[in-house]
Amino acid sequence: MRYPRNLLGYGRTPPDPKWPGGAYVAVQIVLNYEEGGENNVLHGDAASEAFLSDVIGAAPWPGQRHANVESMYEYGARAGFWRLWKYFTANRLPVTVYGVATALMRAPQQVAAMLEADWEIASHGLKWIQHKDMPEAEERAAIVEAIRLHAVATGERPYGWYTGRSSLATVDLVSEEGGFDYVSDTYDDDLPYWRPHRGRPQLVIPYSLANNDMRFVTAPGFDNGEEYHTFLKDSFDVLYEEGRLGSPKMMSLGLHCRLVGMPGRFAGLRKFLDYVRSKDKVWIARRIDIAHHWARHHPYEAPDYVPSEMDRTQFVGHFGSIFEHSPWIAERAFDGELGPASDTATGLHFALRSQFRMASDEERLGVLRAHPDLAGKLAQARRLTEASTSEQASAGLDALTDGERGQFEELNAAYVAKFGFPFIIAVRDNTKDMILSAMHTRVGNDRHTEFKTACGQVERIALLRLRAILPEL
């Protein structure tokens, strides 16, 4: 069973994005333009809009218009947009607009102003509505229509996409459309990343709802512009410091004309952006600029194989020998839950090791007995597995003197006679002398202790084998 969610990402060592000028952080300003594209019976919808307005406790009104909500959305188009536009253009701040196609079609003056300022206009879908229950065919058709209307309104198709109120299928459907430089319907990272889908890599530039002015009208949220400014500044300062220490990231700032376009809220935004502008080593960029930068400096590289995407035969063929002569461990791991977290050495080791640990004592004893004696008869007869041959050679066990070989044979015999399984140690972690010392010590253990120790060494050997063939984060 494949678990589709990726809970690992870049792990402990994210890549250096190589932002222009050695910037410590890339700041990206998004202005969501939704006014005129929201739920409204005038637009053919079943009910009025209730989301992201200053009407306390707003609920959809089936079959009715909601005068107050409509008026608040109109404020965004009539006043809020222009307040933001004047500040951004006066300070030459690059902006990405998430434009709802039907809203853009009702905003000729605003669209002209966006184009005049050289803002990127990405798509925010056909209408500002909920997609979670929308059939895939309907959502696919809406994407196509959004692209068509977007080109009519702006003169060019969009190259970035963000639905917002998305379905589980949204990112896949937009990826399948094939014409987008990036998709932003995720909130799962501070850096862009490539997401393969049906053999095609799609760049994802994650968005953020934490640094979003929607929290002025959602709980828990911002009560005033100063709280908003403080939160944004704290977020920026953490990212700026991480970048200074060698791990640059991206900060997405989500805005709405009808929300942060209000004077008291705008004051907090202006204060924050003035602070950002006072700093050096900051790249303020449109999302399309980030997409092009990432594709240039971090192009997609297809892995040779992806464990969680293999079929059962392939998986067992590749990993059935990681635990010596015990393919049943790989079979059980495949039948369990594999996902993107299983595609690194540590992740796949966890999946295999879990099956080994859940096995019965008798089954685990069989794994121990499948291991060869160190420098024993199988080695001398060159009948070891390829992995065991390489491992024993790494510690010089393939070039023993007659005296050393005699010590190994004597200790192996004593160990097997006492415990019923061969002496096992991760030889790649040890020298020949260290191994002999460990054999002298461990032969004195009781069986319970030594069984546990041997199982731990088997797990260590498996991890080292996986690290030789899989990437590690």
Query: Could you tell me if 124 and 163 are in contact, meaning their C-beta atoms sit under 8 angstroms apart?
Result: yes
Q: Which sequence positions are flagged as catalytic?
A: 371
Residue 205, C-beta contacts closer than 8 angstroms, at least 6 positions apart = 160, 182, 183, 184, 192, 250, 287, 290, 291, 294
Dihedral sign for Cα 329, 331, 333, 335, please. negative
SS3 334: helix
Residue 291: C-alpha distances to residues 88, 184, 252, 254, 422 (Å): 21, 11, 13, 17, 55
Q: Show Cβ contacts of residue 360 under 8 Å, excluding neighbours closer than 6 positions.
A: none
Measured CA to CA, the distance from residue 30 to residue 94 in angstroms comes to 9
Task: Find, among 78, 121, 128, the residue nearest to 99 by Cα.
Answer: 121
Q: Which of 310, 309, 329 minimizes the C-alpha distance to 459?
A: 329
CA distance 405 to 412: 10
Check: CB of residue 143 under 8 Å from CB of residue 174.
yes
In the Cβ-directed half-sphere of 366, how many Cα atoms lie within 13 Å? 11
Q: Is residue 349 within a helix (H) or strand (E), and if so which, with residue range?
A: helix 345-358
Whether the link from the prior residue into 220 is cis, omega within 30° of 0, is yes
